[in-house]
Amino acid sequence: MTEVRVRFPPSPTGYLHIGGARTALLNWLWARKNNGKLILRIEDTDAERSTNASIEGIIDGMTWLGLDWDEGPYFQTEFSENHIQAARQLLESGHAYKCFCTKEKLDKKRAAALAARQDVRYDGTCRNLSPEQILEKEAQGIPSVIRFKVPEKTGVVSYDDKVLGTIERAYSDIEDFVIVRSNGKPLYLLCNVVDDIRDRISHIIRGQDHMTNTTRQVLLYQALGAQVPVFAHMPLTLDLQKKKISKRSHGEIVSVQFYREKGFLPWALCNFLVLLGWNPGTDQEIFSRQELIEAFTLERISKVNSIFNYQKGNAKFFTDPKLIAMNEHYLRTMDISRLGALVKKELIAENLWDKTYDDDKRDWYLATLDLIRDRFHTLKDFTSAGRAYFSDDYEIQAKPLKKNILKHPDLKTWLPMLGKRLAKLTDFNEEEVERVSRELAAELEIKPGILINGMRTVLTGQLAGPSMFAILPVLGKDKVVARLGNIDHLYND
């Protein structure tokens, strides 16, 4: 069997977005599954729109997602000589010809054909010029483009698409398309094929939006005497209004960087993305890298477009609820030391990192993460909702303040009283703190909930969280007692 060689060839005209990342992921999976190679090729022929920032963004995004490539990045512009050479080869072998028709002339013919409701495609005027006629026109300095000479055959050009089955198009339906502009620049359609031949690409896995090119590209492969690769065209990713997701119309919310900044885990995003356009044929939704590599097949790429439901999401994130659910799943189940390393970066960025978390307090650090991660959605929650575990400078949220503190003015004395009793405990463990709290509630003849909710608000600033009695030992006696004793300001501010 020939080696599996796939490519991810983004045009560097913007950030790496959800759709591009999904294409990269599927190619990566196919390469890894087959012990093949993934080639990263930057298709930078559009000089005006390509930027270095975009190239960096693509490379950073792929690296962050863990989609490692085996060759490249190659830059399409570095191979322009190849592209020109291929056009020459097509001219010499009679698969292409020079066309001297001016734009004005073509426009006029097109308008006339439109008016008469006739075929608007190129009429083949220059298709059969003699070598003398060509020389004469060149001597007169008339500029020319190079057109591909679509074989005058009846029947169809076809290719076997791994997702969609046999795709065909009648020869008579394809006009003699331009492959080199009058300024000598080869068109993208040709460059893309020449690069894929040079890179010995065996499978082209790309969006269905490229299908308009594919039959013409198949003709180019044949004319260049190269083997036609296997194609697998993926459905598109649409928004809820069924509009194709694109960097230009959807802005940052569809960029990979956005999810990174919002604290999503790279594999959670990959796991979410793969299901946008592929299914395993079972109910399984959560896949480890290895499981996904094993389960992945081109045939199970879906045929219909998928919806990236980002508008309906939880208002907090404004993204697809399924993506949030995936992220929560991985946050809550991933290896705790790996999580520790990721949260460390977040804490450092917020100036909340203490180096003892790496040595003396490592057990405490990991146990704390393990306790609080159960309610968190993203890595950002560790420094926002989880801030009180790492700093004394944290915000008491308005809702619990009103509901759990201000509504019960007596807590002003009850909570410091509770603090004093807790201070006396020698074993500051979950059972003991619970016993002391419940005893005080009974003495005061109030519902334990009043004390517990008040305590949660003062100690963590949050309305909800892990079991309150489990939180106390994690925070430690000193912090608990100090915080419970210092609540007057909550009533005064």
Quote the least distance from Cβ 272 to ligand GLU, whole Å.
21
Q: Decide: helix, strand or coil at residue 47.
A: coil
Residue span binding ligand GLU (CB under 6 A) among the ranges 4-12, 297-305, 342-350, 385-393 = 4-12
Q: Decide: is 244 part of the binding site for ligand GLU (CB under 6 A).
A: no
Query: How far is the C-alpha of 230 from the C-alpha of 252, rounded, in Å?
Result: 33
Q: Which amino acid is at 458?
A: V
* 3-state secondary structure labels for all residues of 112-154: HHHHCCCCCCCCCCCCCCCHHHHHHHHHCCCCCEEEECCCCCC
- CB of 192 or CB of 327, closer to ligand GLU: 192
Q: Which residues are catalytic?
A: 247
Binding to ligand GLU by residue 199, rule CB under 6 A?
no
Q: How far is the CB of 54 from ligand GLU (least distance, A)?
A: 11
Positions in 173-192 near ligand GLU (CB under 6 A): 192
Kindly indicate which of the ranges 6-14, 251-259, 364-372, 451-459 contains the residues binding ligand GLU, using the contact rule CB under 6 A. Answer: 6-14
Please choose, from the candidates 150, 125, 123, 126, the residue with its C-alpha nearest in 3D space to the C-alpha of residue 138.
Answer: 126
* Least Å from the CB of residue 220 to ligand GLU: 12
Q: Is 43 in the site for ligand GLU (CB under 6 A)?
A: yes
Residue 54 or 437: which CB sits closer to ligand GLU?
A: 54
Shortest distance (Å) from residue 37 CB to ligand GLU: 16
Could you give the CA distance from residue 367 to residue 376 in angstroms, rounded to a whole number?
15
Question: Near ligand GLU by CB under 6 A, which window of 9-17, 159-167, 177-185, 236-244?
Answer: 9-17
> What distance in Å separates the CA atoms of residue 427 and residue 366, rounded to the nearest whole number?
21
For the bound state, the minimum distance from the C-beta of residue 292 to ligand GLU, rounded and expressed in Å, comes to: 22
9 binds ligand GLU per the rule CB under 6 A: yes
161 part of the interface to ligand GLU, by CB under 6 A: no
Q: Which of 4, 10, 87, 216 binds ligand GLU (CB under 6 A)?
A: 10
71-75 and 37-42 beta bridge pairing: parallel
Q: Which is nearer to ligand GLU, 9 or 400 (CB)?
A: 9
Phi, psi (5° rounding) for residue 394?
-135, 160
- Structure token pair of residue 119: 């075929």
Q: How far is the CB of 232 from ligand GLU (least distance, A)?
A: 11
**Judged by CB under 6 A, does residue 375 bind ligand GLU?**
no
Binding to ligand GLU by residue 214, rule CB under 6 A?
no
Q: Reduced to 3 states, what is the DSSP secondary structure of residue 406?
A: helix
Distance of alpha carbon 421 from alpha carbon 488, whole angstroms: 19
Helix (H, G, I), strand (E, B) or coil at 412: helix
Parallel, antiparallel or unpaired: strands 5-8 and 37-42: parallel
- Between 11 and 302, name the residue whose CB sits nearer to ligand GLU: 11
Which 327-366 residues touch ligand GLU, going by CB under 6 A? none
Q: How far is the CB of 275 from ligand GLU (least distance, A)?
A: 21
Q: What are the DSSP calls for 438-456, one per residue?
A: HHHHHHHTS-HHHHHHHHH
- Residue 113 CA to residue 123 CA, distance in Å, equals 10
Interface with ligand GLU: number of residues (CB under 6 A): 7
Which residue shows structure tokens 């060839």?
Answer: 9
Q: Does 206 bind ligand GLU (CB under 6 A)?
A: yes
Is 210 a binding residue for ligand GLU by CB under 6 A? The answer is: yes
Q: Under the criterion CB under 6 A, does residue 50 sit at the interface with ligand GLU?
A: no
Check: CB of residue 54 under 8 Å from CB of residue 25: no
Which residue of this chain has its Cβ atom nearest to ligand GLU in the complex? 206
Helices (H), 355-429: 362-372, 398-400, 411-423
Question: Interface residues with ligand GLU (CB under 6 A)?
Answer: 9-11, 43, 192, 206, 210
